[in-house]
């Protein structure tokens, strides 16, 4: 898929109050990468001024992270809180190449809770039939000044990603391709969040799905879809050099089932000579493994007091 897939497409929603062009995904399949259009770029709560005020409030809750431009640190959403600068200093210098700032869990802010709840209701109304049980959503903002990059990685949850300002180059890979995401590595990651097992290598270059997002463009990708995100400087102008994106991640009944099946598969791989079918290959076997995996994970959590998978409502 290339950037031109988005060319000349306008937001055409079934109802004017809808903020996502659901016409783009009438046949929403939660297992596919799906580009779409949206109307969120002009949302007042997502303007830079509103987001600066939000970031100042969320900083107190340790839900803001930023990087000064001179730092060589790569973007990572898994790191802890930033130190050294105030939020206003970070915003003032945001146009310096290589800067970035992220705001997490914005639904917990009283001024954003209605906006987030309404958006999630709209989302659930459209995806809920194909992918029921939406829970533990996180709505987050990413601001960056090119050049920046988010290294190749996978996440445990599906993502709706919205570009609001500037451009962003998304590189995505098919999570169902075992050469891209080996099933045992995905199981290990889902069960124990072990990072680094799903790695990029040059043989995957030809399999990339490359999508350049401009304001009004969005893309959905399923859980464990490898992604590598870049902002490039060619479009940035003085006074208009910030890439602003918004993302909704969440869990569903299917992510919970996949986790439980993965737990059993992982046990079978470690403790037997069996080669269990990866999740999704055999619905009958998945249905048998699901309650066993759930019982195993609950028992393990009880014994080890691990706080893994709290978001999955096991
Ligand atoms: Fe990610």
304: CB partners within 8 A, 6+ apart: none
* 155 CA to centre of ligand 1 in angstroms: 5
| Same domain assignment for residues 266 and 149 | no
With 90 as the cut, is the pLDDT of residue 246 above it?
yes
Residue that has been written with the tokens 């409030």 in this structure: 57
Ligand 1 centre from 270 Cα, in Å?
A: 28
| Cα 252 to averaged position of ligand 1 atoms, centre (Å) | 17
Same domain, 246 and 166: yes
> For residue range 106-128, what is the model confidence (pLDDT) as tens digits?
999 999 999 999 999 999 998 99
Q: Distance, CA 139 to ligand 1 centroid (Å)?
A: 13
- Does residue 192 lie within any of the structural domains? no
Where does the chain have alpha helices with state H? Answer: 48-60, 87-92, 113-127, 183-192, 253-271, 283-304
Q: What distance lies between CA 69 and its chain's CA centroid?
A: 24
Q: Domain range spanning residue 230?
A: 3-173+208-251
In a domain, 183, yes or no: no
* Percentage of the chain modeled with pLDDT above 90: 67
User: What are the pLDDT digits (tens) for 129-140?
Assistant: 999 999 999 999
Residues 282 and 164 placed together within one structural domain of the fold: no
Question: If we measure between CA atoms, which residue out of 276, 253, 252, 273 comes closest to residue 186?
Answer: 276
Please give the distance, rounded to the nearest whole angstrom, from the Cα atom of residue 154 to the centre of ligand 1: 6
In the reported structure, the alpha carbon of residue 172 is separated from the centroid of ligand 1 by a whole-number distance in angstroms of 11
Q: List the end-to-end C-alpha distance of the chain, in Å, as a whole number.
A: 36
Give 273 Cα–ligand 1 centroid separation in angstroms: 33
Position 53 pLDDT exceeds 90: yes
Query: What SS3 state is found at 204?
Result: helix
Average pLDDT of the residues in 237-242: 90
Does 79 score more than 50 pLDDT?
no
Kindly state whether residue 307 falls inside one of the protein's structural domains.
no
**CATH number, position 154:** 2.60.120.650
From ligand 1's centre to the CA of 158, what distance in Å? 9
- Tell me the CA–centroid distance for residue 226 and ligand 1, in Å: 8
Residue 99 belongs to some domain of the structure: yes
Write down the pLDDT at residue 254: 96
DSSP letter assigned to residue 278: P
Out of 5-14, 32-41, 188-197, 290-299, pick the least confident. Answer: 5-14
8 vs 69, which has greater pLDDT? 69
Q: Is the dihedral of CA 240, 17, 127, 307 positive or negative?
A: positive
Shared domain check, 231 and 99: yes
Question: What is the Å distance from ligand 1's center to 263 Cα?
Answer: 22
- Assess if residue 193 is contained within a domain: no
The share of the chain scoring above pLDDT 70, in percent, equals: 89
- The CA 284 to ligand 1 mean position distance, Å, reads 31
**Does 22 share its domain with 167?**
yes
If you measure from the C-alpha of residue 304 to the centroid of ligand 1, how many angstroms do you get, rounded to a whole number? 28
Q: Is residue 147 part of a domain?
A: yes
Do 237 and 284 fall into the same domain?
no
Q: How far is the CA of 121 from the centre of ligand 1 (A)?
A: 23
Distance from Cα 219 to the centre of ligand 1, integer Å: 13
Distance between Cα 15 and ligand 1 center (Å)? 30
Instruction: Let me know if residue 272 belongs to a domain.
Output: yes
Q: Answer yes or no: is pLDDT of 4 > 80.
A: no
Q: Count up the domains in the chain and report the number.
A: 2
pLDDT higher than 70, residue 78: no
What does the pLDDT average to over 260-269? 95
Mean pLDDT, range 237-260, rounded to an integer: 95
Rounded to the nearest 5°, which phi and psi values hold at 170?
A: -95, 130
Confidence check: pLDDT of 82 > 80: no
| Whether the predicted pLDDT of 227 surpasses 90 | yes
Q: Domain check: are 42 and 142 in the same one? A: yes
Measured in angstroms, how far is the CA atom of residue 223 from the centroid of ligand 1? 9
Query: Are 217 and 110 part of one and the same domain?
Result: yes
pLDDT digits (tens, 9 = 90+) for 304-313: 877 777 888 8
Has residue 225 been placed in a domain?
Answer: yes
Do 118 and 245 fall into the same domain?
yes
Q: Do 229 and 291 fall into the same domain?
A: no
Q: How many angstroms does the Cα of residue 246 sit away from the middle of ligand 1?
A: 12
For residue 171, how far is its CA from the centre of ligand 1 (angstroms)? 11
Same domain, 290 and 226: no
Whether 293 shows a pLDDT value over 70: the answer reads yes
Residues 36 and 106 placed together within one structural domain of the fold: yes
Q: Rounded to whole angstroms, how far apart are CA atoms 134 and 137? A: 8
């Amino acid at each position: 898929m290339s950037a031109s897939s988005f060319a000349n497409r306008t937001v055409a929603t079934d109802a004017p109050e809808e903020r996502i062009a659901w016409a783009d995904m009438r046949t929403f399949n939660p297992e596919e990468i799906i580009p779409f259009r949206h109307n969120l770029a002009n949302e007042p709560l997502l303007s830079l001024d509103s987001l600066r005020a939000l970031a100042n409030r969320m900083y107190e809750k340790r839900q803001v992270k930023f990087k000064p431009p001179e730092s060589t640190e790569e973007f990572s959403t898994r790191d802890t809180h930033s130190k050294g600068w105030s939020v206003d200093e970070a915003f003032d210098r945001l146009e310096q190449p290589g800067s970035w700032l992220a705001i997490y869990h914005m639904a917990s802010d009283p001024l954003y809770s209605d906006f987030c709840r309404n958006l999630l209701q709209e989302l659930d109304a459209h995806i809920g039939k194909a992918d029921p049980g939406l829970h533990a959503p996180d709505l987050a903002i990413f601001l960056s000044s090119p050049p920046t990059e988010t290294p190749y990685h996978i996440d445990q949850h599906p993502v709706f990603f919205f570009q609001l300002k500037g451009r962003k180059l998304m590189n995505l890979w098919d999570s169902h391709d075992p050469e891209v995401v080996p099933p045992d590595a995905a199981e290990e990651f889902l069960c124990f969040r072990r990072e680094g097992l799903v790695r990029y290598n040059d043989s995957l270059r030809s399999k990339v799905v490359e999508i350049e997002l401009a304001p009004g463009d969005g893309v959905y990708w399923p859980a464990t879809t490898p992604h590598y995100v870049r902002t490039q400087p060619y479009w940035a102008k003085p006074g208009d050099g910030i890439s602003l994106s918004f993302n909704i991640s969440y869990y569903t009944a299917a992510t919970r089932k996949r986790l439980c099946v993965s737990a059993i598969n992982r046990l079978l791989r470690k403790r037997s000579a069996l080669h269990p079918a990866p999740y999704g290959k055999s619905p009958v076997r998945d249905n048998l493994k699901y309650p066993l995996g759930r019982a195993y994970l609950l028992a393990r959590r009880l014994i080890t007091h691990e706080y893994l998978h709290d978001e999955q409502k096991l």
